[in-house]
Amino acid sequence: MLDEIDTTVAPLDCGRLFDLLGDNPQQVQDLLSTLMPTDVYAQAAAYAAYLNERHNRMTNAGLVLTAWLRSGVISRERAQAVLRQRQETRP
């Protein structure tokens, strides 16, 4: 199933990630582990926009990262690295 998603470019296909989160969160964890921390944040932002548009949710990248952390999709260390990198690159 990982072969179906292009992991060379972030953001990844959000619709496919949505399906995978329900079916196999481990595959989402594997996908996100291939991304640099700044790309994980970009993915979280893209996924939040996807949820807002397609599923009428009001969320943002920070909430998506928190949800991924709570569900075990990303580790605490990875989430901290993503947020630290985000703060360092923020204008």
pLDDT tens per residue, range 66-75: 999 998 889 9
Task: Report the pLDDT averaged over residues 23-28.
Answer: 86
Computed over every residue of the chain, the mean pLDDT equals: 84
Residue 55 gets which letter from DSSP? S
Residue 27 lies in a domain: yes
The values of phi and psi at residue 73, to 5°, are -70, -35
Q: Which amino acid is at 4?
A: E
Residue 1 lies in a domain: no
Q: Which residue is it, tokens 């548009």?
A: 53
Whether the full predicted model's pTM is greater than 0.85, yes or no, is no
pLDDT attached to residue 2: 47
Residue 6 lies in a domain: no
Confidence of residue 77 (pLDDT cuts 50, 70, 90): very high
**Could you give the maximum distance between any two Cα atoms of the chain, in Å?**
37
Q: Which amino acid is at 90?
A: R
Residue 38: pLDDT above 80? Answer: yes
Residue 19 lies in a domain: yes
Residue 11: pLDDT above 50? Answer: yes
Range of the domain at 54: 11-89
Contacts of 90 (CB under 8 A, 6+ apart): none
Task: Count the domains in the chain.
Answer: 1
Residue 57 lies in a domain: yes
